[in-house]
Structure 1
Amino acid sequence: MLCPEALAVAKELGLRRYVFSTSSLTSLVSLLYTPELARTTTCECRYLPEPVVLPGCVPLHGADLVDPVQNRSDPVYPLMIDLGLYYLLADGFIVNTFDAMERETLVAFKELSDKGVYPPVYAVGPFIRSVSDEAGKHSCLRWLDGQPDGSVLYVSFGSGGTLSTEQTAELAAGLEASEQKFLWVVHFPSDKDRSAGYFGTSADRGNDPLSYLPEGFVERTSGTGLAVPLWAPQVEILNHPAVGGFLSHCGWNSTLESAAAGVPMVAWPLFAEQRVNAVLVSSERVGLALLGLSTYYARRRRVRLRCRIRVVYGT
């Protein structure tokens, strides 16, 4: 989805042209709308006075859109406009979504496609990794085995998501003060890049990310929580009976995995299209869809969706 120039080359060669979008249809629609947004507005997107209303989508504030669109002086800004225009050369969009998650958006998009405004979209999701017996050997799953059903808050910000030093300390303080059972996948903090987890540093490789937590936090919370460095088997965790909620960055893979497991989310978006996804999962109608999905996907096990889906920004 980030190589739109290939569409122009494929058209010259007479090849069929499809874009595989690994994120939500709402996110794709917002990208398609970028050229129109640039043409009809003059202010920075984050200062738009009214929400952006896209066909079949939940209203998005300008500050919810992807980061490069926020700043017209960003060198990536014109590339985002080109991306929206190149996408119109596609014969269709293959999107990792499904009817119960984005039904109204799919219906509205089909109406526009039938009128020739956009190429058609094909919802082929949810594509998620299946539960693995090998991953089931991870020590955190053995810890979950000893917890009551629906009692644990799973906390993870994805492979790349990174909190600042202050946010890490505040999250730790909040988890400790809540006395809530938790399983937290901890990354090295970064005060410069919210996606620093993708890259790391040579200095990090010799350190333990747990050493950046407040002094004594791991010991004080040993009776209620478990902090895991860098990685944990997420699909297996979300499908474990002990997990009752997910504090997430709202990356689309995590969103689909949580929906498939019937686990409610508290969304803390960090970068890319995660704010769009956070608005989507926190909307009333998607909340209802998740409630329905729990019956279908939870395999007749305990998922208690008692909390309302909320969005948490910043710290």
Structure 2
Amino acid sequence: MAILPGPGPGMGHLIPLLEFAKRLISHHRFHVTCIIPTIGPPSATLKQVLNDDYTNPNDSKLNAVYLPPVNFHGLTAVKVETQIFLAITRSLSPLREVLKSLKANYSENLVGLVVDSFGTDAFDIAEELNLSSYIFITSSAMILSFSLKLPQLDERVTGEYRAMGEPVRLPSCVPVHSGDLLDPVQDRSDLAYKLMVYHTNRFRLADGIILNSFIKLEEKGYTSFVERRRTGSSGPVLEDQSECLKWLDGQPSGSVLFVSFGSGGTLSFRQMNELALGLEMSGQRFLWVVRSPNDKVSNGSFFSLRNDNDPFAFLPNGFLETTKARGLVVTSWAPQAQVLAHISTGGFLTHCGWNSTLESVVHGVPLIAWPLYAEQKMNAVLLTESAQIALRPNVNDENGLVGRGEIAQIVKSLMEGEEGKRLRERVEEVKNAVQRVVGEHGSSTKALADLALKLKKRTCIYICRFIWKFV
């Protein structure tokens, strides 16, 4: 079973795949091995996730194997997505040797290879070794629908998609304006786009697609593939962040806005300043996971959870003092699943990463959609226009910023306005649907059982995990 991670430490891809592995182990008695290509020594964060939270030294049902570091010398000024794609290609040879060794040791018990959408080159190895091959989609059904359509769009459309003059229409989904499409498709001359077309065209080679979503959240996006789905789960607490939870314990029920841009997201200095002042103007309670700004890219923490500079130094003068009675600012990381589950949390200002979306929905927390990179703008369209569980602030066209006044208004609207009340009722409906689909007789539980049944004649399945690193 192979898994290719997402950006940076890859937590957005690693965690749902490990949750998937845990369910195969706990409910269907499989064995799982994560095979991890790297571009440097594994980070402490990665080791902690794999060793502390997901593996038991007294139980070898979930193991990790690290491949030799990938060499990226000579590769300059390329998008992160390109590095992700090439990490797989440059790891195929050692991957083959590891899988051959596992095959020799376990004979017919090595039955499956699961990759995420960046890793379809690994299908060739699966075919060589007579393994079933699956794609695990760590994004939404809308993203899967677009991915399946991309090879046809590439042949049919001339020029850049942003020049089409009309939205892209996907099967059973709301139309998506070209500016909200995935980052890698915004420049068709870039290598990242060419690699994405190549890999999405290979989706058809998989024996199956495992989708990390559920129907109630994406009722309009499931028509073509409702038989293959899985609901995600929350990730681990990577370090002691009890300060956040203790602070939340002292706040009124439903009164706190959680602000976080995931493991990779960064704001520009000006935007960080506007967000701080907007939170101050709103008068609402907030818990903000802050990182040092980056004026060049919006995914500046892709390859690190570390702050090279003190992010507090970039906040407006007096901000921490002025807001200390109703706000808490922490650096780099917070126990997101626990924060969203806390009774005091009443809203989530998010980058619209899919794991963050699912975790918020699972706990019935309405959203403010603030997409930054990758597929997040498409997720924002889904959350605001289709699922209707999020608000989205207006961007100032002149400077590309979300102004402090707009931020204050939308935060107040979510936390205490009628629109926020409507979203809260809607997300509660979706939360109840989640509980049904992951229940004993739910559709997600059944889908996983059906997949396990196909492999049941053999006793081991291996996850191959493609990661780079990492600080």
* TM-score category, normalised to shorter length: 0.7 to 0.9
Whether 1:40 aligns to 2:40 is no
Q: Does 1:27 align with 2:143?
A: yes
Deviation at 1:146, TM superposition (A): 1.1
What residue number does 1:212 align with?
A: 314
2:219 paired with 1:103: yes
Cα distance, 1:267–1:200 mapped onto 2, change above 3 Å: same
Q: Structure 1 unaligned runs (5+)?
A: 111-120, 299-315
Q: Is the 8 A contact 1:48 1:61 kept in 2?
A: no
In the alignment, what sits opposite 1:126?
232
What residue is the counterpart of 2:288 in the other structure? 184
Structure 1 counterpart of 2:187, one-letter code: N
Aligned residue identity for 1:291? E
Q: Secondary structure at the match of 2:221?
A: helix
The alignment's TM-score, normalised by the length of structure 1, stands at 0.83
Equivalences, count? 284
Distance 2:138 2:199 in 1: 15
How far did 1:86 drift?
Answer: 0.8
1:163-219 Cα offsets, whole Å, 9 max, x none, are: 0111100101101111111110001100111111123599x43x3211111111111
Q: Select 1:242's aligned residue among 339, 344, 349.
A: 344
Aligned pairs for 1:225-304 within 5 A? 225-287=327-389, 290-295=427-432
Q: 1:94 Cα deviation (Å)? A: 0.5
Q: How does 1:134-149 map to 2 (within 5 A)?
A: 138-149=242-253
2: CA distance between counterparts of 1:150 and 1:81?
43
How many Å separate the matches in 1 of 2:296 and 2:216?
37
Aligned amino acid, residue 321 of structure 2: E
Deviates more, 1:99-108 or 1:20-29: 99-108
| Structure possessing the higher radius of gyration over alpha carbons | 2
Q: Give the distance between the partners of 1:223 and 1:11, measured in 2 at CA.
A: 60
**Structure 2 counterparts to residues 53-132 of structure 1, below 5 A:** 53-109=169-225, 122-129=228-235
Secondary structure of 1:107's counterpart equals: coil
CA contact (8 A) 1:10 1:17 kept: yes
Q: Is contact 2:241-2:334 (8 Å) kept? A: no
Residue 411 of structure 2 corresponds to none
Q: Which amino acid aligns with 1:124?
A: R
Q: Which moved more, 1:272-281 or 1:40-49?
A: 40-49
Counterpart Cα distance in 1 of 2:323 and 2:229: 43
Partner of 1:193: helix, strand, or coil? coil
Work out whether residues 136 and 209 of structure 2, in 8 Å CA contact, stay in contact via their aligned partners in 1.
Answer: yes
CA RMSD between the two structures = 2.3
Tell me the CA shift for residue 296 of structure 1. 5.9
Look up the equivalent residue of 2:233 and give its one-letter code: F
Matched residue of 1:109: which SS? coil
1:36-61 per-residue CA deviation (whole Å, 9 max, x = no partner) reads 11111113122321111111212111
SS in 2 for 1:155: strand
Letter in 2 for 1:48: M
Alpha-carbon distance in 1 for matches of 2:321, 2:214 = 43
Q: Which structure carries more relative contact order (alpha carbon 8 Å, separation 6+)?
A: 2
> 2:305–2:333: 8 Å Cα contact kept in structure 1?
no
Q: 1:285 to 1:220 in 2, by over 3 A?
A: closer
Give deviations 1:38-93, integer Å, cap 9, x for gaps: 11111312232111111121211111111121111212111111112111111110
- Partner residue in 2 for 1:223: 325
C-alpha distance in 1, partners of 2:222/2:208?
Answer: 13
Alpha-carbon distance in structure 2 between the residues aligned to 1:47 and 1:268? 24
Q: Tell me if the contact between 1:7 and 1:87 (Cα under 8 Å) persists in the aligned partners.
A: no
User: Which ranges in structure 2 are unaligned for 5 or more consecutive residues?
Assistant: 1-116, 390-422, 436-471
Report the TM-score, using the length of structure 2 for normalisation.
0.57
- Residue of structure 1 in register with 2:303 after alignment: 199
2:333 partner SS: coil
Q: Secondary structure at the match of 2:155?
A: helix
Letter matched to residue 167 of structure 2: P
**Contact 2:241 2:335 (C-alpha < 8 Å) held by counterparts:** no
Distance 1:291 1:31 in 2: 30
Change (3 A) 1:90 1:201: closer
CA contact (8 A) 1:135 1:236 kept: no
Quote the offset at 1:293 in angstroms: 2.5
Aligned equivalents of 1:137, 1:274: Cα separation in 2: 26
